């Protein structure tokens, strides 16, 4: 059986007696084993980073950008292989896997402009003969812990800006689909990145804790569940690290009475069920405003959901594939039962879905609930599967309040033709990312990504200008060049209130 090794010091490294299983979700069978590293393996990676770091920090930003340009070229050249490898371990369809890679590449494109993004500020003549300027400098050795649902995009969101800023990066990817992160590190080496600047080390909670506690790792970025995000944020801060930790979500789509319902249905089909709902920016809750809007939307939604095709990841006609493993499928099915028990109307039940020839695959059919109440635990918690819940709102005010009061605040969308309603909603809703007639409002790479409340812990978002801020420290310099006068008229005096 194939064994997935670490990537340390620029080469494959086989270490770790404990191993995890990597499944083929379409077949429901183990296809590989991934080694779980130890604290000694992490120490080896830190040592390699320590050795390589001074030379990389001293490399000028333009030359670092050239490595990013070459890496982008290599990823594009290997796009099909990466997408198929990703789909084989995650289960998402190949077209969706290409999108996973492409959205990561967009942050690499931003990182190609790092010479401009790293420029500091300068004030000439801040005082007599005094200039003040700032410079952004790398933190040193940093790390990222990434989830299973985007094994290409989120690692590139992290290591692209971090490395371009001059840091050495240690990546701990999800043990469920670890092959693509290793392949990305190999392509970075091929692009000219020095050995030790990007390394991949596998593991579970033992490795996560080792990274959090290591004194030479100065910053940590995490994406995963909210409970783990809060744990990593608290423990990392206690260890003096800079931490950004992004958690779960329960994104709402508000549908106003004047919305184009055909567009809404089309958008919901992709946003709620694409990638089997395994996205932190999925749209699993739809909130029609008014009884007529709800009834009209439901009438259009049911045939659209029933027409969705579930298939293996390589099926070009499939709208989505299996979920990642049997445990996650069981978790999703338990939430379906929970919502039904709580009083939700189970309009379409996707449990028990079997695909001919792939009966052992981890499939779930699309599921749709109506008349879900905000008091339901199944509404309050993240399901992370192909399940859409309809929560009916009587008024616009109630529709604004639902996502604002929810424990998660990642993304939200409003569908309307009314510019005033859209503007009012965007200004008032207590959520970090807002879409107006856009169902999955992930900002483009030169803006920043991040949710509020229990969707995000930390003060700085991912990628874009915020990413540069996170992976650097700002040094301020006040300089003066005396003219040699011995009379003292140009002596430096601390300004005082007078």
Q: Which residues are catalytic?
A: 280
As to burial, measured by CB atoms within 10 angstroms (0-12 exposed, 13-18 middle, 19+ buried), residue 178 is buried
Distance CA 239, CA 331 (A): 33
List Cα–Cα distances, 187 to 172, 203, 431, 440, in angstroms: 17, 22, 37, 30
Please name the helix (run of DSSP H) or strand (run of DSSP E) that holds residue 168, with its range, or none: strand 168-172
Residue 144 near residue 173, CB atoms below 8 Å: no
**Residue 123 DSSP one-character state:** E
Sign for the pseudo-dihedral over CA of 221, 227, 231, 234: positive
**What's the first-to-final CA gap in the chain, in angstroms?**
78
Torsions phi, psi for 196 (to 5 deg) = 95, -10
CA neighbor of 400 nearest in space, from 241, 409, 318, 262:
409
Residue 153 near residue 101, CB atoms below 8 Å: yes
The residues facing 270 across adjacent strands are none
Which is it for strands 6-8 and 19-24: parallel, antiparallel or unpaired? Answer: unpaired
CA neighbor of 364 nearest in space, from 349, 380, 376:
349
List Cα–Cα distances, 424 to 395, 420, 440, in angstroms: 14, 6, 19
């Amino acid at each position: 059986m194939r064994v997935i090794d670490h990537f340390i010091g620029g080469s494959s490294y086989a270490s770790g007696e404990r191993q995890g299983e990597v499944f083929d979700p379409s077949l429901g069978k183990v296809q590989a084993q991934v080694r779980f590293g130890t604290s000694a393996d992490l120490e080896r990676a830190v040592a390699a980073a320590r050795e390589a770091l001074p030379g990389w920090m001293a490399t000028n930003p333009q030359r670092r950008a050239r490595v990013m340009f070459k890496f982008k070229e290599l990823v594009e050249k290997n796009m099909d292989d990466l997408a198929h490898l990703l789909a084989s371990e995650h289960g998402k369809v190949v077209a969706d896997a290409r999108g996973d890679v492409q959205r990561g590449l967009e942050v690499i494109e931003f990182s190609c402009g790092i010479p401009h993004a790293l420029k500091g500020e300068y004030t000439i003549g801040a005082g007599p003969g005094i200039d003040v300027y700032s410079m952004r400098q790398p933190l040193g050795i940093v790390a990222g812990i990434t989830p299973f649902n985007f094994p290409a995009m989120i690692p590139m969101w992290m290591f692209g800006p971090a490395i371009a800023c001059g840091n050495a990066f240690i990546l701990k990817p999800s043990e469920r689909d670890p092959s693509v992160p290793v392949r990305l590190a190999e392509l970075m080496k091929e692009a000219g990145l020095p050995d030790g600047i990007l390394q991949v080390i596998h593991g579970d909670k033992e490795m996560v804790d080792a990274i959090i506690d290591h004194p030479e790792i100065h910053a940590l970025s995490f994406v995963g569940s909210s409970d783990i995000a809060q744990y990593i944020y608290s423990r990392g801060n206690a260890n003096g690290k800079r931490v950004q930790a992004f958690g779960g979500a329960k994104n709402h789509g508000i549908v106003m009475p004047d919305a184009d319902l055909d567009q809404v249905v089309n958008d919901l089909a992709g946003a709620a069920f694409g990638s089997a709902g395994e996205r932190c920016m999925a749209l699993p809750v739809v909130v029609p405003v008014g009884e007529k809007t709800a009834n009209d939307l439901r009438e259009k939604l049911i045939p659209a959901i029933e027409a969705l095709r579930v298939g293996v990841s390589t099926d070009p006609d499939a709208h989505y594939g299996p979920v990642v493993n049997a445990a996650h499928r069981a978790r999703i099915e338990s939430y379906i039962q929970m919502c039904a028990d709580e009083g939700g109307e189970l309009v379409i039940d996707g449990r028990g879905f079997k695909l001919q020839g792939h009966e052992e695959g981890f499939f779930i059919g699309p599921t749709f609930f109506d008349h879900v109440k905000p008091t339901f635990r199944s509404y309050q918690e993240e399901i992370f599967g192909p399940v859409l819940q309809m929560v009916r709102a009587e008024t616009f005010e109630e529709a604004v309040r639902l996502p604002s009061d929810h424990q998660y605040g990642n993304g939200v969308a409003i569908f309307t033709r009314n510019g005033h309603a859209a503007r009012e909603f965007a200004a008032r809703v207590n959520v970090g990312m807002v879409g107006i007639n856009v169902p999955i409002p992930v900002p483009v790479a030169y803006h920043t990504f991040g949710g509020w409340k229990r969707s995000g812990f930390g003060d700085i978002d991912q990628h874009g200008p915020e990413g540069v801020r996170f992976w650097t420290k700002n040094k301020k310099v006040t300089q003066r060049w005396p003219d040699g006068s011995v009379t003292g008229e140009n002596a430096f005096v601390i300004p005082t209130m007078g």
